[in-house]
Chain A
Amino acid sequence: MTTGTPDLDQLRRLLFGKEYDELLALKAQFASSEKYTASVARIIAEAINLRAGQDSALSVALAPMVEQSVTQSIQRQPQRFAEVLYPVMGPAIRKSIQQALNEALANLNYLLESSFSPQAWRWRFDAWRSGQSYAQVALLRTLVYQVEQAFLIHRETGLLLRHVLAENAISKAPDIVSGMLTAIQDFIKDSFAINGEDTLDTLRLGELTVLVEYGPHAISALVVRGTVPGELSGLLSSTSETIHRQYAHQFQAFNGDAAIFAGAETLLSDCLKAQRQHRQPRSPWLAYALLTTIVAAFGWWAYQHYQQQAGQLAQEAASKQQQHATLHDLQAQLRQQQTDSTAIQTSLQNLLEQQRQQAASTAEAAASNSRTIQQLTRQIETATYPFELAKAEIDLNHPVLQQISQDINALQQAARRNQQSLQVMLTGNTDDSGTETLNARLAKDRASNMRDALVRSGVPAALLVAYDANQPGLPATAHKSERGVSYRVTLY
């Protein structure tokens, strides 16, 4: 065989000619991953476009990958995504808040409207009778329609795959209901011998309608209360189609575990639509009225409260002012009193000072007076008029006499200042020459002459007492052996 190979090769070339080389080149292209990649790269975009136009298989295949890579991307750099989404999110959030507020207002208005109508009382009665809440009854009675429940049922077994329920709706054992739905379907079909492909797509009982959509593997059903709008069955069909497309594998693999259909719940939830009566976008005047009333009531209350407080405040202010005034007065009075007391103190001080000064001056005066008295007393008592020998005549103009007279008058004034009276005792003296009798006469004459002379020179006579030296009771000192008159001053 080894020798035959070149021949065979030659034979091939003879048979296929140039095409054989092309064939080899083509083979090489598939064998080399590099070349193959290059050739696929040329057509990949067109291929994707083409397939995407044919069916949704591509998006189904890509969805998990895209999902995963977006998730990873966000986890890696969330900041960047935040930045990208930022311009979108702001308006979206604002819009949804606005909408939520509008809805809340509309709901409130609706509730108010329905609370005041006679219809509302009927509903209240119905609620009482049926044991439902008023809100439930009111909601149900005003619905144009509401999709209360959505079922996804395994067609062959009648087992419930998914079930979603509107917020205010109640449901009783949906898994049993789903079985019964399939049974009823079969019952009708059997009973009326309907054609194989025809299916029961609507059940109606009173205000309840069950829309049923038969897919190859699953039955989708909507329980609708009220007047069913035309577009609802279209929505149901497209939902059923979507579920069949997305869960094709799960339907194949289903063995009684419905958990694998968990993701279909969002699709079913999208079918839970509702429309209410009177929901035209008219002004919710009742809600506004209520809100206005509330605001007004609050305002009134606040005003009253404010007034009361203001009154109280005014009162407080007034009483405070009064207190202030009183305080002020008191302070003024206090100040006045303080001033007064200061004045009093001052005047007292002055008085005291004066008194002190007076006292001082009085004391001074008294002291100086005393000194004057002492001095004058000494001057008077030491004065000596020079009598001529054995004579008693007195010269009225003699300076000694003048001096004595002055001194006695001054002393009399000083003594008067001291509230005292003055008496000057004049005692005539003689020297030891001469006879006793002569001398006694002489002494007596000299004393009385001096007295006369002093009286004549202005000394009040009452002050002067002239004594004879021999007079009994006279002090011994008075018996001076002098030629003259001695003066003894007495103050009393």
Chain B
Amino acid sequence: MIQKKICLLGAFSVGKTSLIRRYVDSLFTDKYLTTVGVKIDKKTLQVDGQDITLMIWDIAGEDDLTNIRTAYLRGMSGYILVVDGTRPHTCDTALSIHRMVRETVGDLPALFALNKADLKTQWQLDANQLKQLQQSGCPLLETSAKQDAGVEDMFHQLVRHMGV
């Protein structure tokens, strides 16, 4: 069985933890997040006929991205950058995290999740931001942790992108 480490990154309160909670049956409480800044969950899935176990690292993000412990990113096979569509600055944060990862860790499979799609009417992303997202060369997905929309698809797409 192949195991892979992936990370969910993004600004504070964009819905990373909510997305993971939707996807896995969590064994541990989320309190580790506040103490150590990371929480790990596990999910086994089948992509294109192959079993794979994802070790999903939920990394506590703050708006000040220097607080992301880059050490936590070591060894990951891919990552998901989560954006809260209702808060435009979270898109900027995601983009700068993406840049930072490429510089420190390297060029890895990644995708952008535009979360809180259930609140799409309240989205405030501007044209420039959308253009930057498209230029990143990463897949772009709309998700809603609240309505469980596009969540599984998001993980599957990342795994495919990782070429496992």
Contact = CB atoms under 8 A, between A and B. Distances in A.
A180 B164 CA distance: 24
A179 B37 CA distance: 13
A157 interface: yes
Contacts of B71: 186, 189-190
23 contacts: A154-B75, A156-B74, A157-B5, A157-B55, A157-B76, A158-B40, A159-B5, A172-B27, A175-B53, A176-B27, A176-B40, A179-B40, A180-B40, A183-B38, A184-B36, A186-B71, A187-B38, A256-B52, A256-B77, A256-B164, A257-B2, A257-B3, A258-B1
A356 to B, nearest CB: 121
A173 interface: yes
Nearest to A191: B69
Interface of A: 154, 156-160, 172-173, 175-176, 179-180, 183-184, 186-187, 189-190, 255-259
A156 B75 contact: yes
Interface string B31-58: 0100011101110000000001101010
Nearest to A255: B2
Contact of A256 (B3, B38, B57, B69): B3
Interface in B1-22: 1-5
A183 B3 contact: no
A293 B28 CA distance: 50
Contact of A190 (B3, B4, B69): B69
Contacts of A186: 69, 71-72, 74
Interface residues of B, number: 26
A183 B35 CA distance: 11
Nearest to A259: B1
A152 to B, nearest CB: 13
Contacts of B2: 255-257
Given A159-B55, A256-B2, A187 B37 contact: yes
Contact of A183 (B52, B53, B72, B164): B72
Interface in B100-158: none
Given A156-B75, A159-B75, A173 B42 contact: yes
Contacts of B5: 157-159, 179
Contacts of A255: 2
B55 A176 contact: yes
Nearest to A176: B40
Nearest to A179: B40
B52 to A, nearest CB: 8
Contacts of B69: 186-187, 190
A334 to B, nearest CB: 95
A176 B55 CA distance: 7
Contacts of A187: 36-38, 69
Nearest to A184: B36
